[in-house]
Amino acid sequence: MSFLSLKFHHFCLTVCISRTYISMLASTFQRLKTYLETQVIGQPDLVKQLLIALLADGHILVEGPPGLAKTRAVKILSDCIEGSFHRVQFTPDLLPADLTGTDIFRPETAEFTFQPGPIFNSLLLADEINRAPAKVQAAMLEAMAEKQITTGRKTYPLPELFLVMATQNPIEQEGTYPLPEAQLDRFLLQLNVNYPDEASELEILRLNRGEALGIEKADPVHITQESIFAARKAVLSIHMAEDVERYIIRLTMATRQPESYSDQLANWLQMGVSPRATLALDRCARAHAWLNGRDFVTPEDVQKMAYPVLRPRLLLSYEAQAEGIAADSIVSHLIEQVACA
């Protein structure tokens, strides 16, 4: 066999192994999705968006009443992946050091040593994040944007695998601090969680009873951090046609130039989304397609992810707020007005 033939054979073998490995990764994430849906019943969107945030390397903001398995979802996910998990209950008296950590004086060495806080975990559940004061929000902003925290004169990197799932209670407003636009823009997705239907509620009842009785549940799916990083590369490498790329650009540009599409849209929007929304929509559409078993992105993937991606980033005008127009209604109007080809 000639040298060129050997090189070609090696190339084909490498491509075959790579495709096999990617197929194995996709199968593993499908099994993870199925397992999570058996443990977090009645919230398929929450499960799927959590996995999309994990694959797209972003953070997720979840809004919904208490008791809808928000904490349970991220806790069960943490049991399935290689990495540490911590839950922080945000309160008005929380200090940045309670989150980031602080320097501790050691009498035996007469030196200060840094004691890491709960933010130094791979998965962080920020429960009722809008109850934290401005200084804590600033610490969260640096962590989410730069994957690092600064205390005093020193900066410390966070784990390479770092995902924040923050929750908000839409019912109670007393003692809350609305998240600033800059921090909302750091969330990859915002998901609104609703109550489960009657059939799902019955399943929840039976699952809870089984857990209380100690009945064995399905074995969890375990995923290493190496597999997660490999899956992220696979997601970024799937095919996106130029027409789909331009469709994403047109959607985001429509929020900045709404008068070019409709007077109604111009009255509803005070400010358009930033380029960060374009990047988020690209990543999330790819992750959505990959989770659905495809190696290419369609306009439907973009439309599906436009709601959670644009929802926290649209700055509504006073007219829209006075009329009770929701961000989702504006996204629907955008999809109607902007041609996908």
Convert the pLDDT of each residue in 256-297 to its tens digit. 998 888 888 888 988 889 899 999 999 999 999 999 999 899
CATH number at residue 295: 1.10.8.80
In this prediction, residues 91-120 reach a mean pLDDT of 86
pLDDT-based confidence at residue 2 (cuts at 50, 70, 90): low
Query: Residue 217 pLDDT > 80, yes or no?
Result: no
- Global pTM reads 0.86
228 part of a folded domain: no
- Please provide residue 85's backbone torsions phi and psi, each rounded to the nearest 5 degrees: -130, 145
Report DSSP letters for 34-98, one per residue. HHHHHHSTT-HHHHHHHHHHHHTT--EEEE--TTSSHHHHHHHHHHHBSS-EEEEE--TT--HHH
Query: Residue 7 pLDDT > 60, yes or no?
Result: no
**Which pLDDT does position 301 carry in this prediction?**
96
- If asked whether residues 78 and 156 sit together in one domain, one would say yes
**Which pLDDT does position 136 carry in this prediction?**
87
- If asked whether residues 196 and 264 sit together in one domain, one would say no
The strand pairing partners of 115, in sequence order, are 102
pLDDT-based confidence at residue 305 (cuts at 50, 70, 90): very high
How is residue 22 written in tokens? 């990617």
pLDDT-based confidence at residue 153 (cuts at 50, 70, 90): confident
Based on the structure, what is the number of domains in the chain? Answer: 2
**In 3-state terms, what secondary structure has residue 322?**
helix
In this prediction, residues 203-231 reach a mean pLDDT of 81
H-helix or E-strand spanning residue 14:
helix 3-39
The strand pairing partners of 223, in sequence order, are 81
CATH number at residue 154: 3.40.50.300
To the nearest whole percent, how much of the chain has pLDDT over 90? 35
- If asked whether residues 153 and 294 sit together in one domain, one would say no
- If asked whether residues 205 and 259 sit together in one domain, one would say no
- If asked whether residues 205 and 255 sit together in one domain, one would say no
pLDDT-based confidence at residue 245 (cuts at 50, 70, 90): very high
Query: Residue 22 pLDDT > 70, yes or no?
Result: yes
**In 3-state terms, what secondary structure has residue 192?**
strand
12 part of a folded domain: no
271 part of a folded domain: yes
CA distance 257 to 238: 30
Query: Residue 176 pLDDT > 90, yes or no?
Result: no
CA distance 182 to 43: 28
- If asked whether residues 268 and 132 sit together in one domain, one would say no
Which of 321, 251, 261 has its CA nearest to residue 284?
A: 251
Which of 132, 188, 180, 193 has its CA nearest to residue 164?
A: 188
- If asked whether residues 155 and 243 sit together in one domain, one would say no
How is residue 36 written in tokens? 């999570």
What is the bridge-based pairing of β-strands 269-271 and 315-316? antiparallel
Domain limit, last residue, from 212, 228, 261: 212
- If asked whether residues 48 and 180 sit together in one domain, one would say yes
- Taking residue 332's Cβ as centre, other Cβ atoms within 10 Å add up to 14
Asked whether the beta carbons of 185 and 146 are under 8 A apart, the reply is no
Query: Residue 215 pLDDT > 70, yes or no?
Result: no
Provide the sign of the torsion angle of the four alpha carbons 130, 135, 141, 143, taken in this order.
negative
**Which pLDDT does position 316 carry in this prediction?**
87
Asked whether the beta carbons of 193 and 68 are under 8 A apart, the reply is yes
User: What is the span of the domain harbouring residue 322?
Assistant: 239-337
To the nearest whole percent, how much of the chain has pLDDT over 70? 91
Who has greater pLDDT, 103 or 161? 161
2 part of a folded domain: no
- If asked whether residues 333 and 251 sit together in one domain, one would say yes
- If asked whether residues 49 and 173 sit together in one domain, one would say yes
222 part of a folded domain: no
CA distance 290 to 102: 41
4 part of a folded domain: no
- If asked whether residues 126 and 196 sit together in one domain, one would say yes
Amino acid at site 281: L
